[in-house]
Amino acid sequence: MDDIIKLRHELHSNPELSGNERSTAKRVVEFLSKYKPDELYTDIAGSGIAAVYNGKVSGATLLFRCDMDALPIQESSDISYCSKSKGIAHLCGHDGHMAMISGLAKKLHEKPISKGRIILFYQPEEENGRGAKKAIEELSKLKLTPDCAFAIHNMPKYPFGSIILGKYTFSAASRGMIIKLAGKNAHAAYPENGINPSGAVAEIIQTLNGAKYTKFFKGFILATIVHVRVGEIAFGTSPGYAEVMATLRAFNNVDMQKLSDYAVSSAKTIAAKYGLTIDIQFTDEFPATACNPELTHTIENIAKQQQREVIYIDEPNRWSEDFAYFTSAIPSVIFGLGVGENHPDLHTNDYDFPDEVIPYGVDIMEGIARHFQS
């Protein structure tokens, strides 16, 4: 595993944000050249890579997906291979996900499959929710649409090496909401001559924060205010423009649509009350990740055969995954790999993917791949 760990450290030291994964792709392609896929496709949905291993006879096509992008967060770790890019770091473990998929490439090279196809797919733009949707379209054009797809995500706070499954939704739906309010500037000494949006902003924030207490929804929902701007910093001016940004979240797609509709109608009503014009946009949209039950139990059985602890989560993870576009399109499962109860959490400054868990991830994915050979 030394070469796999070396690859992860290189990827960790050189992180790239969503849509800019070109150097990451170059490093991966160079690594894969040692393990000779039968077909290699690059520049998929941006910088995506598909390494294909073919069996000698026809059979199912399986896709194993990993994500490539890093986060716009400063790393605080003092590890020797820490990020060289200020304010950018692999603090979600995508470097580890790529390393595990690359470890699977090594296994498939050393012991080729007998039938079907296995596609190892390195996907760009996971963090902004754009990559999977574009990738599915481009994989179809390349005649690489799989019969089923799998993804693995490292999960702190769970026992090391354990397998975490949803029953059967693994992670929540989410979308970013941007509310723009326009009124009229005035001198701060004569605010009555303008239309200041601050009152509407305050009411919109209260309404969104209180959405979780309404009775419109069947399951968990949440609206989180992430950014507010009212005018410019000018003490002589009563502002005429404001923005409110929020992340909407729900455990199922029906509630997500209800929450979106509620947020839009409420914001429009409040804007009209204050005499403001309003523009609303949505971004970073992730459906709920509803996994295939049969494949979920297949992974459970394989994990138990490997004497791994299997944990079914009581409710979906609150965070979102753009692998949801795969689970919506074809039979698919995303599952968790425990990296330790005391490991720093995802998206925190001191997080680092543990190298020691790489073989556990490779083994479970190889087990899935070999299962479909029988």
The pLDDT tens digits of the residues spanning 284-343 come to 999 999 999 999 999 999 999 999 999 999 999 999 999 999 999 999 999 999 999 999
For residue 168, cis peptide bond before it (omega within 30 degrees of 0): yes
Decide the pairing of beta strands 173-182 and 186-187. unpaired
* Cα separation, 203 vs 93, whole angstroms: 38
Longest CA span, the chain: 81
Instruction: Report pLDDT for 59.
Output: 93
Sign of the torsion formed by the C-alpha atoms of 153, 159, 163 and 168: negative
Please answer whether residues 122 and 98 qualify as being in contact, where contact means their C-beta atoms are separated by less than 8 angstroms: yes
* Cα separation, 317 vs 302, whole angstroms: 23
pTM of the model: 0.92
Structure tokens at 117: 């196809």
- Torsion angles phi and psi, residue 5, rounded to 5: -65, -40
Instruction: Report pLDDT for 1.
Output: 83
Average pLDDT rounded to a whole number, residues 236-264: 97
Amino acid (one-letter) located at 274? Y
Q: Predicted confidence band at 373 (pLDDT cuts at 50, 70, 90)?
A: confident
Instruction: Report pLDDT for 146.
Output: 97
Instruction: Report pLDDT for 214.
Output: 87
Instruction: Report pLDDT for 212.
Output: 93
* Cα separation, 333 vs 149, whole angstroms: 7
Summarised one tens digit per residue, pLDDT across range 97-110 is 999 999 999 999 99
Amino acid (one-letter) located at 303? A
* Cα separation, 153 vs 347, whole angstroms: 13
**Average pLDDT of every residue of the chain:** 97
Would you call 273 helix, strand, or coil by DSSP?
Answer: helix
Average pLDDT rounded to a whole number, residues 159-180: 97
* Cα separation, 49 vs 131, whole angstroms: 12
Decide the pairing of beta strands 332-338 and 163-165. antiparallel
Average pLDDT rounded to a whole number, residues 183-203: 98
Q: Is the pLDDT of residue 215 over 90?
A: no
**129: CB partners within 8 A, 6+ apart:** 284, 285, 286, 320, 322
Summarised one tens digit per residue, pLDDT across range 16-50 is 999 999 999 999 999 999 999 999 999 999 999 99
Instruction: Report pLDDT for 374.
Output: 74
Structure tokens at 235: 């003490």
Q: Is the pLDDT of residue 52 over 80?
A: yes
Q: Is the pLDDT of residue 63 over 80?
A: yes
Average pLDDT rounded to a whole number, residues 121-130: 95
Average pLDDT rounded to a whole number, residues 226-247: 97
For the chain, domains (ranges, CATH) are 2-170+288-371 (3.40.630.10), 173-286 (3.30.70.360)
- Torsion angles phi and psi, residue 369, rounded to 5: -60, -45
Instruction: Report pLDDT for 204.
Output: 98
Q: Predicted confidence band at 176 (pLDDT cuts at 50, 70, 90)?
A: very high
Q: Which residue's entry shows tokens 């029906």?
A: 254
